[in-house]
Structure 1
């Protein structure tokens, strides 16, 4: 891996696991990038759920913080739900903030790939409600009694 290239951290989407990004990871590694795609704790198929946005955000913050402490420049590639996780967890880890703390690394870019970029304190469902589309949610997903959220048609 070239030391001049940034380290890439993929924050995967809901209903995905790192293996979902294998082709992308292989292509990026072939181009000389160091790539990380930690598995989000909420994607463990536990019923009822035993992890959530906060658990996922804590994991990504700790993971990227360790890369930053090791002097890495990090680009976060966030897909779908991963946009909320990345937005939550990477606050204060930008290069300038880290440099002020004497750290050589930091997050240089946030790349949202069909991802949620929400204002602070706003969740995806808040936006769905704001635009008057709550009646459409049940077409896409099913919220079970145990608070598990399942895609109604994951193939498409």
Structure 2
């Protein structure tokens, strides 16, 4: 338990997104007096053919975390979708809270929760491709969502969903297929938020990954939102409520 309430949130966005997708949500947190960092993951919307791998995403997150530590913040890490894989690699013990600054907890928002030694593909091999995203392949190492309005924003009115989808980008498939080596959810206060209507990482798959983490020694708190893949857009106040609750529990 931390003796200090978190003063910041480090957001790790998903694979087909950019930080701009989180702007409205981040502004709400800032209005509540929190400092917010949401670094761009280089593998998202990368050059074609892509040049960035998961190690570059990890470096971007670790730099943002170090910047917060330099400013004496203790903070939560909020990771969405592919961002959960980046969190597992980036949030190492050297970033854990010490002397009132550093990472005090994780919030995994319908994220990939891959065991050390495994990959996203090994999880899919184990549980099946429980996903309604129609992936397009550019043939250069990048993939994209052909049906983003329906698969990412199925709980948002269609006209708005189509507008949001214009902000989605390509992702470097090799970044998403990397082997994971870290498991900060074994050490840190971790909350996993299930998105019950998610069509990108469907609920049974979310539940299976969480159960695997529990079986591996993770002590996860579970919350559920009746939403699609992006409740930070469709139900931001609900997500913020959970973030606030986590902050109280780790302080």
Q: Which bin holds the TM-score, normalised by the shorter protein?
A: 0.7 to 0.9
1:145 aligns with 2:145: no
Q: After superposing the two structures, state which structure 1 stretch, 109-118 or 68-77, moved more.
A: 68-77
Give the whole-Å Cα distance in 2 for the aligned partners of 1:116 and 1:81.
6
Give the whole-Å Cα distance in 1 for the aligned partners of 2:131 and 2:147.
13
3-state DSSP of counterpart to 2:16: coil
1:86 equivalent in structure 2? 87
1:65-76 → structure 2 map (5 Å cutoff)? 65-76=66-77
1:124 aligns with 2:126: no
Give the alignment's Cα RMSD to 1 decimal.
2.2
1:13 equivalent in structure 2? 14
Give the whole-Å Cα distance in 2 for the aligned partners of 1:42 and 1:33.
27
Query: Where does structure 2 lack aligned partners over 5 or more consecutive residues?
Result: 151-251
Give the whole-Å Cα distance in 1 for the aligned partners of 2:5 and 2:108.
23
1:65 is displaced (CA, Å) by: 2.0
1:39 is displaced (CA, Å) by: 0.9
Q: After superposing the two structures, state which structure 1 stretch, 60-69 or 85-94, moved more.
A: 60-69
Distance 1:69 1:116, change over 3 A: same
> TM-score, normalised to structure 1's length?
0.83
Query: Where does structure 1 lack aligned partners over 5 or more consecutive residues?
Result: none
Distance 1:132 1:25, change over 3 A: closer
2:103 equivalent in structure 1? 107
Give the whole-Å Cα distance in 2 for the aligned partners of 1:153 and 1:32.
36
Distance 1:140 1:69, change over 3 A: same
Give the whole-Å Cα distance in 2 for the aligned partners of 1:139 and 1:35.
29
Give the whole-Å Cα distance in 2 for the aligned partners of 1:125 and 1:82.
16
3-state DSSP of counterpart to 2:92: coil
Check the 8 A contact 1:68/1:104 in 2, yes or no. no
Distance 1:121 1:68, change over 3 A: farther
3-state DSSP of counterpart to 1:42: coil
3-state DSSP of counterpart to 1:84: helix
Q: After superposing the two structures, state which structure 1 stretch, 66-75 or 109-118, moved more.
A: 66-75
Check the 8 A contact 1:57/1:86 in 2, yes or no. yes
> TM-score, normalised to structure 2's length?
0.53
Distance 1:151 1:88, change over 3 A: same
1:4 is displaced (CA, Å) by: 5.1
Check the 8 A contact 2:82/2:111 in 1, yes or no. yes
Number of equivalences: 146
